[in-house]
Structure 1
Amino acid sequence: MISQDTIQQILSRIDIIDIVGSFVKLKKRGSNYIGLCPFHNEKSPSFSVSPSKEIYKCFGCGKSGNGIGFIMEHEKYTYVEALRWLANRYNVEVEETETSPEYKAHMQVADSLHVINAFAQKYFADILMSNEEGQDIGLSYLKQRGFREEIIQKFQLGYCLERGNAFAKTAIANQYNPEYLQKSGLVVLRNDELMDNYRGRVIFPVHNNTGKIIGFGARIIKKNDKAPKYINTPENELYHKSKILYGTYFARQAIDKQDECLLVEGYTDVISLHQAGIENVVASGGTSLTQDQLRLVKKYTNNLTIIYDGDAAGVKAALRGLDMALEEGLNVKLVLIPDKEDPDSYVNKVGTTAFREFIAANKKDFILFQLEITLKDAAGDTTKKAAVVNQVAESISKINKAEDFTKQQDYIRQCSEILKIEEHGFTTLVNKFIRERVSKQETKHQGPAQNSGPAPDGDFPFFPEPMYDENGFEIQGPPQEFQQQDDTINLILKDELQERSVVRALLEFGLKEWEGKKRVADYFFEEMIDDDLFDNKQLLHIIQTYKAWYDAGLEPTSKNFLYHEDQSISSIVVSIMDFPYELSPKWKEEYDMPVASREDVYVQEVISTLNYLKLRKIKRLIEQNQKDLEQPHTSDEQMMLLQTHMHLKQLEKDILKKVGTVILK
């Protein structure tokens, strides 16, 4: 883990204009900067950066955050990866906290493998471009495949000489550890001698999401029936094949921008499509999709389009593992390339525009495609058709996110029509598979002694089985209790906006002067009624954290929370500090009059937000008193409750008069 001292050094040097300006061309406008949003396509700038608040906001797509959040969003880094990126940019030496000996050993090996892989990539690339054998065999093969030099350099392709130990000798001469060289898969030990593992092969480096090389794929060029076509790096501290999609580093921004990931099988498919200008593409390496790979896709988009060969093997490959994609909440489409072509050959044959048009026109929904293929195989066989019904119902049951409820119902309706079966019966079958999975999850996570409580993984929405009136017609429309929730939800949203205003006033003005030697924070905590007034406990936690720091003699500002290590706190503070409006600098020029800023009227804002809390407390006391009045009491008790009611109403009037608000019910 990165030490707190290192994190504080990084935070003290962060300049959001410098960070965002590394990726976006910014132009000053008023107190802020604007530019074209890097997260969606736009022609007019709607992306704004506030150096004073240290946040960015796009008014087009709605994305916002701080400097670290920008790096995480733009580069798809984790929090720690973003900190390391910033440490490197601002020349901050990263200090690690105490870790276990096992973790230290693991990190030492991982760091060594990174260094070896970087050395190997440069060596193989140099051989490809500068060595006679590399040019005659490796480079000529790549150019014959249609790859231009700029794309070869972009993907850092290389070539390993056919001589048995050319790379091994060079690596040893450069004092690289023989044990780590073997662990990397670049060399193997034969007859007590280190030999090159990728002899006579084109080298495809595999990058992680920060651009570091974690392994290699190596394709044989000359025909050799005994040798495998591809060799990949063995599993080690860096390389885990089940967690990797080739090309992610180069595709991540295009996937994010286009909100779609194209998935192909091979390295050359990815490279050819990139060369054609289609950059939102990654490769699975021809293996079945794993849950880790699908979660990697979900980091960038919910829309996955799989492009495979149109032969029987391609169809089979396309269907493998896709139930897991549904469980992850991905919208999965399939495209099969015609005429025994693959994506690489097809894009070279028809060109970029025609390829894009073909993909757009031939996307098929996974569930419906699966149904179409399996029904063809069933070919009128009743037993096989029953198996198809069960298979499709089970696939639909894997869609376990509550937000996908409408999609699930739509699948049930469409599949029932295609299968020519009753929708009610099909719904019951889908629910049966859902219940079975819930039961398995409960058994797995709770043990046989505990057989109740919510399932630990997913929302598992059950489909409402159709209800019919006395005439046999299906009853439509949501239950009445759902319709009655609207007013309550609106009140909750309104109260939360007020709570956010209270927190914002504290974060922005807490250290400003108040009366005498007091600060706003002193007045704030004197006037705060009680913690129960905050329905949003996350907002209350921010206030409590602020108070703890302030009482300890620290001087917390919004920046302490904006860059808080707890990302949930950071995110909510970013949204609180949002800047939807900015005073135009032309106001003074046009109207030649002073305009008060929030900084000028912070006293009124603090008083106003705290008065809201007081009103909220009074309102709740009035409601409680009203409930008490409805109960049977003695005449004296009744009189006391009435007097209490009148007193509370007068307090409410007095506060509303102070803030200039018209009283409501």
Structure 2
Amino acid sequence: MISQNTIQEILSRINIVDVVGEFVKLKKRGVNYLGLCPFHNEKTPSFTVSPTKEIYKCFGCGKSGNAISFIMEHEKYSYAEALKWLAAKYGIEVEETFVSQEQKDLYQTADSLFIINNFAEKFFTNTLFNTDEGRDIGLSYFKERGFREATIEKFRLGYAPEARTAFTDEALKNQFNKELLLKTGLIVERNGSLQDNYRGRVIFPIHNQSGKVLGFGARILKANDKAPKYINTPENEIYVKSKILYGFYFARQAMDKADECLLVEGYTDVVSLHQAGIENVVASGGTSLTLDQLRLIKKITNNLTIIYDGDSAGVKAALRGLDLALEEGLNVKLVLIPDNEDPDSYVNKVGASAFIDFVQKNKKDFILFQLELALKDIGNDPVKKSELVNKIAESISRINKAEDFTKQQDYIKQSADILHIDEAGLHALVNKYIRDRLAVQEKKAATTAPDPTALAQAEASNYDDATFDLLFKDQLQEKELARVLLEHGHKPWDEQTRIADYIFNEIDELEFEDQQVAKLIQAIKELLQTRPELFNEKYFIYHSDKELSALAVSLLNHPYDESPRWVEIVGENMGYQDTLFQQDFDSFVRTLAQGNQEELNRYKLISEDRTKDKVISALQYLKLKKIKRMLLQNQQDMEADKTYEKFPELHFIHKSLKDMERKITESLGTVILQ
């Protein structure tokens, strides 16, 4: 884990305009900055960055967050990767904390492997471009495949020289550890001596989501029946094949914009399609997809299209494991490239536009594709047909999300037609697989029933909408108090007390209906008890808990900011008084100045801190809403008391609550509850 000291240093250095400005052209507009949203296509800027609140918001697509979440969303990084990106930007050394020595050793090993791989990548790239052997053999091969130099540089392709110890000698000269070099697979030990493992091969570096080199794929160029066509990095602390998709680092943003992932088999397929401008493409390496790879795709899109050549072995390999994709909620399509072509050769043959058109017109649903392919093999064998029916029924049963019910029914109907079997019978078989799976899940689930909630009680009582709102909907007032607490809680209430302390003293016995707000309130309490010096308006915006961070951003994210210079404008002769936001104030001053400077002078500009008023107002409105709820509930209890046994007690409660309500109403003036 990244240490809290490092995180705090990063947070203290972050300038959200500076960070977002690396990816979006921003123009100053009032106190904020405006630009075209990088998360959806738009012609009119609706993407706003607030440097004072350190948050961004797109009023077109609704995306919002802080500088860290922007990097996570835009670059598809994890929280830790985003922090490390920011640390590198601001020149901050990242300090890691570890639970155990074993964890520390694992991290140090992984870090060392990344350093070695980075060194190797530069060595192979330099050999490719700057040596006679690299240019004559490696670069010539890539250019024969149609790769332009810009594409080769983008994917950082390289070449390993034929000399037995060229890389080994260079690595040892740079004092890299022998054991770690062996672990990377870059060198091997044979007959008691170290030598290069990828001699005479072109090199395809494999990157993780943040662009670090995990390992390599090395393709042989000479005809050699004894040597494998490709050698890949052996599994180690950073290279786990089941968790890797080649080209994901280069494809992640294009996948997001296209809302689709194209999956191919080989490295060259990915490179060729990228060069043709089709960048939302990754490769599986020819193996069946794993759950980790599917979840990597699902982080960005739910739409997966598999593009393979017509080789039956490759197709069957692609089909294995795709039931997992259905369980993950992915929409899986398959396309076969015609005429014994692969994606690499076909896109070079027909061009990018025709390739995309072919894919769009020839996509087939995974289940129907699987069905048609299997029917070619089973012929008239009734046993094989029965096995196929069961296999298709099991696959369809894995489409188990409520929103996909119609899709499931369509698959049952189409599959029954293709198999020439009774639709009702296939439906029953699908349901059997669903029941069997649910039975297994129920055995694992806890047997105790949850306690009834207030919401369930409300639904059972058939309250009308107005009554239900009063009884069970306090979210607006709760969120407003949480916003005030976030924005002003760190400020002083008096010489001894913070505003947060004052608020918590006032709401000590109140229960919060909104569970997210309740979680935030509890987190603030705990922070004040453990690390009060860290609490400020930005702490929860950058919280590592995504739920808390998202809530903090949404609470603080409103389209207007109060003028930092004047809170009120009072018309001395007109009796006009109102609070102005910054945008309104700027417009107000411009309008008056353009019309008549004397009229502007008639206004008195007042600078006044009204923070306490906001705190008291938020508290009073929340208390008032809670009292309204208690009054209505008490009224319900009085109506239910047919024997009048509890009437004196209930009447006393009613009177007390009404007194409290009247006092708060008088202090607030006119009250409108939503």
Global fold match (TM > 0.5): yes
- Aligned equivalent of 1:39: 39
1:529, distance to aligned residue in structure 2 (A): 5.8
C-alpha deviation, 1:565, in angstroms: 2.6
Select the residue among 592, 613, 617 that pairs with 1:608: 617
Q: Give the deviation of 1:556 after TM superposition.
A: 2.3
What is aligned with 2:56? 56
Alpha-carbon contact 1:531-1:540 (below 8 Å) kept: no
* Cα distance change, pair 214–486 in 1 and its aligned pair in 2 (3 A): farther
Q: Is the 8 A contact 1:529 1:614 kept in 2?
A: no
- Residues 1:620 and 2:629 aligned together: yes
SS at match of 2:282: strand
d(CA) in 1 for partners of 2:397 and 2:174?
57
Q: How does 1:253-292 map to 2 (within 5 A)?
A: 253-292=253-292
Q: What is the CA-CA distance between 1:612 and the residue it aligns to?
A: 2.7
**Corresponding residue for 1:337?**
337
Q: Does residue 123 of structure 1 match 2:123?
A: yes
Distance 1:501 1:407, change over 3 A: farther
Going from structure 1 to structure 2, the CA distance change for 1:661 and 1:125 (only over 3 Å counts) comes to same
Whether the 8 Å CA contact 1:36–1:43 is kept in 2: the answer is yes
- State the match for 1:156 in structure 2: 156
Q: CA deviation at 1:143?
A: 0.4
Q: What TM-score comes out, normalization by structure 2 length?
A: 0.86
Is 1:213 the equivalent of 2:191? no
Rounded to whole Å, the distance in 1 between the matches of 2:545 and 2:505 is: 28
Deviations 1:472-515 (A, max 9, x none): xxxxxxxxx99x89959988995323321110011112244657
Q: Decide whether aligned partners of structure 1 residues 503 and 43 sit closer, same or farther in structure 2, where only a CA change above 3 A counts.
A: same
Aligned pairs (5 A) from 1:276-425? 276-379=276-379, 381-419=381-419, 421-425=421-425
Q: For residues 472 and 270 of structure 2, what CA distance do their matches in structure 1 show?
A: 46
SS of alignment partner, residue 211 of structure 2: coil
Over aligned residues, Cα RMSD in angstroms?
Answer: 3.1
Q: Bigger CA drift: 180-189 or 650-659?
A: 650-659
Distance 1:598 1:396 in 2: 67
Give, in angstroms, the shift of residue 70 of structure 1. 1.2
Deviates more, 1:596-605 or 1:108-117: 596-605
- Whether the aligned pair in 2 keeps the contact of 1:318 and 1:334 (CA below 8 Å) is no
Structure 2 counterpart of 1:509, which letter? H
Q: Distance in 2 between matches of 1:485 and 1:249?
A: 53
**1:419-442 CA-partner distances (Å, limit 9, x unpaired):** 455554433322221222234445
1:531–1:127 distance in 2 versus 1, CA, 3 Å = same
Q: Secondary structure at the match of 2:238?
A: coil
Mapped partners of 2:408, 2:179: distance in 1: 52
Name the SS of the counterpart of 1:224 in structure 2.
coil
Residue number in structure 2 paired with 1:559: 538
Give me the whole-angstrom Cα distance separating, in 2, the residues matched to 1:83 and 1:123: 29
Once the two structures are superposed, residues 292-347 of structure 1 have per-residue CA deviations (whole angstroms, 9 ceiling, x without a partner) of 11111111111111111134234323312110111111111111111111110111
Within 5 Å, give how 1:425-440 maps onto structure 2: 425-440=425-440
- Residues 470 and 632, structure 2, Cα contact 8 Å, conserved in 1: no
Query: Conserved in 2, the CA contact under 8 Å of 1:528 and 1:613?
Result: no
Superposition deviation, residue 557 in structure 1: 2.0
Q: Which moved more, 1:557-566 or 1:499-508?
A: 557-566
Amino acid at match of 2:589: K
State whether structure 2 residue 657 is matched by structure 1 residue 648.
Answer: yes
Q: 1:69-88: CA deviations, max 9, x gaps?
A: 11211222222222222222
In structure 1, the partner of 2:186 is 186
SS in 1 for 2:335: strand
Q: Is the 8 A contact 2:214 2:239 kept in 1?
A: yes
**Quick one: distance in 1 between partners of 2:254 and 2:590?**
42
Q: CA deviation at 1:65?
A: 1.1
One-letter amino acid of the structure 2 residue matched with residue 6 of structure 1: T
State which drifts further: 250-259 or 378-387.
378-387
CA contact (8 A) 1:529 1:613 kept: no
Is the contact made by 1:511 and 1:555 (CA closer than 8 Å) also made in structure 2?
no
| Alignment match, 2:578 | none
Amino acid at match of 2:158: G
The amino acid that maps onto 1:322 is L
> Secondary structure of the equivalent of 2:474?
helix
Query: Residues 15 and 376 from structure 1, CA distance in 2 versus in 1: closer, same or farther, beyond 3 angstroms?
Result: same
Distance 1:289 1:548, change over 3 A: closer
Supply the AA of the counterpart residue of 2:392.
V
Q: Percent identity?
A: 62
Q: Relative to structure 2, which stretch is displaced further, 32-41 or 590-599?
A: 590-599
Name which of structure 1's ranges 626-635 and 86-95 shifts more when overlaid on structure 2.
Answer: 626-635
Deviation, structure 1 residue 591 = 5.1
> Does 1:576 find its partner at 2:577?
no
Q: Aligned equivalents of 1:371 and 1:490: distance in 2?
A: 52
- Which residue in 2 is equivalent to 1:542? 520
- The alpha-carbon distance between structure 1 residues 300 and 105, as it changes in their structure 2 partners (threshold 3 A), is same
User: Can you list the C-alpha shifts for 1:256-300, whole angstroms capped at 9, x where unaligned?
Assistant: 122111110000000001111111111001111111111111111
Q: CA deviation at 1:392?
A: 1.6
Deviates more, 1:96-105 or 1:272-281: 96-105
Q: What amino acid sits opposite 2:624 in the alignment?
A: L
Structure 1, unmatched stretches of 5+, are 455-480
Does structure 2 retain, via aligned residues, the 8 Å contact 1:216–1:233?
Answer: yes
Q: Choose the corresponding residue for 1:525, options 494, 501, 504.
A: 504
Report the CA distance shift for 1:417/1:505 in structure 2 as closer, same or farther (over 3 A). Answer: farther
CA distance in 1, matches of 2:672, 2:119: 73
CA contact (8 A) 1:33 1:50 kept: yes
Distance 1:599 1:574, change over 3 A: farther
What is the SS of the residue equivalent to 1:560? coil
Q: Distance in 2 between matches of 1:421 and 1:453?
A: 42
SS in 2 for 1:306: strand
Task: Describe the SS at the equivalent of 1:562.
Answer: coil
Partners in 1 of 2:183 and 2:673 — Cα distance? 73
**Paired residue type of 2:477:** Q
Aligned-pair CA distance for 1:99: 4.1
Distance between the aligned counterparts of 1:394 and 1:359, measured in 2? 28
Cα–Cα, structure 1 residues 434 and 220, in superposed 2: closer, same or farther, change >3 Å? same
The Cα of 1:205 is off from its aligned counterpart by 0.7
Residue 40 of structure 1 contacts residue 258 of structure 1 at CA under 8 Å; is this kept in 2? no
Per-residue Cα deviation, 1:606-644 (whole angstroms, up to 9, x for no partner): 333222322232233223322332344655743553464
Alignment of 1:78-227 (within 5 A): 78-227=78-227
Counterpart contact for 2:486–2:536, Cα < 8 Å? yes
Aligned counterpart, 1:463: none
Matching of residue 499 in structure 1 with residue 482 in structure 2: no
Q: Distance in 2 between matches of 1:301 and 1:273?
A: 19
Letter in 2 for 1:237: E
In the TM superposition, what is the alpha-carbon distance from 1:230 to its structure 2 partner? Answer: 0.6
Q: By how many angstroms is 1:157 displaced?
A: 0.8
Shift of residue 196 of structure 1?
1.4
> Do the aligned partners of 1:218 and 1:230 also contact (CA within 8 Å) in 2?
yes
Please give the alpha-carbon distance, in whole angstroms, between the structure 2 residues aligned to 1:214 and 1:599. 58
TM-score, with normalisation over the residues of structure 1? Answer: 0.87
